Chain A
Amino acid sequence: MTLLNPILHSPVFGIALTVGLYWGMVKLKARYRRVHPLICTAAVIIAILVLGDIPYEDYRIGGEWLSWALGPATVALAVPLYKHASLIRSKLAPVMTGITLGAIVSAGMTACIFYLTGASMELMYSAVAKSSSAPFSMEIARRLGGIPELAAAISVLTGLFGSLAGPAFLRLCGVRSDIAIGAAIGTSSHGIGTARLMETSELQGSVSGFAMAAAGMISTLLMLPVYWWLLSSS
């Protein structure tokens, strides 16, 4: 392995591995619809690191470069927020109420379930913003004392579950309008749910994209009182 060490210790290793595998998975998805590029990329990288006995710290050098780019990518969410605002202009009050209520219920439910199961606070702060997209939940976890990586993984699992079970569950509960479905999925299952809705209805997907960005911002603002409370009590 000594020959490989300079390569493994360079950021190029982590970046090339991630970008290469992700590109391959996107290609694979074009053929097999069930392939989820993000999950498959992460799973294969973990397998390579474990089987090749490569320390996670080596991968992390390059991984951090990609994580850095997540900041500007989050800023890009302003575009669907602006572009699709006109779709809901006539229903601005109910949609914003729905998104805000969803963000509050999500954090409240998570806090209750973690309290009841006696899980650690660290874990709770990593999961509290799980309905928001990973770049939001990671930053919220970082500020409250959770683990950003865990927050990202829980966000992704939440999005996957919501995108699989959400549309049918909402139909069962009598939520049928495109705007209500889009806002509910965007608020609870962020980008993964939005991508799922885009496959069948552009209107639902667009509203979901709006809701995802709005819910991420609202969840971040909701985190402020908890953050100040933690500061004052420490």
Chain B
Amino acid sequence: MRGFAIFIAFHLIGLALEKGLSIPLPANVIGLGLLAAALFLGWIKLEWVEASSKIAIRHMGLLFAPAIVGTMVLAKQIQSEWLAIGSSIVIGTLVTMLAAGLAIKLWPDRRKQHDAAESHSA
């Protein structure tokens, strides 16, 4: 339960910063950033939040099921623009994962270059 209390507290802090300082970032993202910072700084211990986060993330789908149901009133709009939605999902997703994957694959590995330089000089 402590974990969930911490998540709600950080969401509340995020909401206070969003509304109070009119930061144009959503409260959930501010809360997420602050909790990550608190974990890295050691202010929050991993074991306080680990079990709760597993449950929250595994069943996050339950929490956005209502939003998916909400698209039923948008059926007409979706029908008229299905081509844009469908092609952006298929093409956009493949190109996105390829860009991320290739950037990491093709990143110059300093250690390998170092080894190559050494073997060349030898």
Contacts and interface: CB of A to CB of B under 8 A. Distances in A.
B26 A139 contact: yes
Q: Closest 4 CB pairs between A and B?
A: A63-B66, A102-B100, A149-B70, A184-B101
Interface residues of A, number: 110
B35 A83 contact: no
Contacts of B97: 102, 162, 166, 169-170, 184-185, 187-189
7 contacts: A46-B69, A63-B70, A66-B63, A70-B60, A76-B57, A150-B77, A183-B100
A14 B66 contact: yes
A120 B65 contact: no
Interface string B1-42: 001100110110011000000001111110111011001100
Interface string A174-207: 1111011101110111010000000000000000
A4 interface: no
B97 to A, nearest CB: 4
A149 B74 contact: yes
A139 B28 contact: yes
A87 interface: no
Interface of B: 3-4, 7-8, 10-11, 14-15, 24-29, 31-33, 35-36, 39-40, 46, 49-50, 52-53, 56-57, 59-74, 77-78, 81, 83-85, 87-105, 107
A45 B39 contact: no
Given A77-B57, A105-B96, A220-B26, 17 more contacts: A38-B68, A45-B69, A62-B66, A66-B62, A66-B66, A71-B11, A73-B7, A77-B32, A81-B32, A94-B104, A101-B100, A149-B74, A152-B64, A176-B105, A184-B104, A188-B93, A189-B93
B64 A38 contact: yes
Contacts of A74: 11, 28-29, 31-32
A145 interface: no
A75 B10 contact: yes
Interface of A: 14, 18-19, 22, 26, 37-39, 41-42, 45-46, 49-50, 56, 59-60, 62-64, 66-67, 69-83, 85, 91, 93-95, 97-99, 101-102, 105-106, 109-110, 113-114, 117, 119-120, 123, 127, 130-131, 133-136, 138-140, 142-143, 147-150, 152-154, 156-158, 161-162, 165-166, 169-170, 173-177, 179-181, 183-185, 187-189, 191, 209, 211, 213, 216-217, 220-221, 224, 227-228
User: Considering residues B27, B85, B92, which has the most beta carbons from chain A within 10 angstroms of its beta carbon?
Assistant: B92
Contacts of A143: 24, 26
Contacts of B40: 82, 85
Contact of B90 (A45, A62, A161): A161
Given A72-B8, A78-B36, A83-B46, A180 B72 contact: no
A102 B31 contact: no
A144 to B, nearest CB: 11
Nearest to A160: B89
Contacts of A184: 97-98, 100-101, 104
B68 to A, nearest CB: 4
A180 B105 contact: yes
A152 B77 CA distance: 15
Contacts of B92: 106, 109-110, 113, 130-131, 158
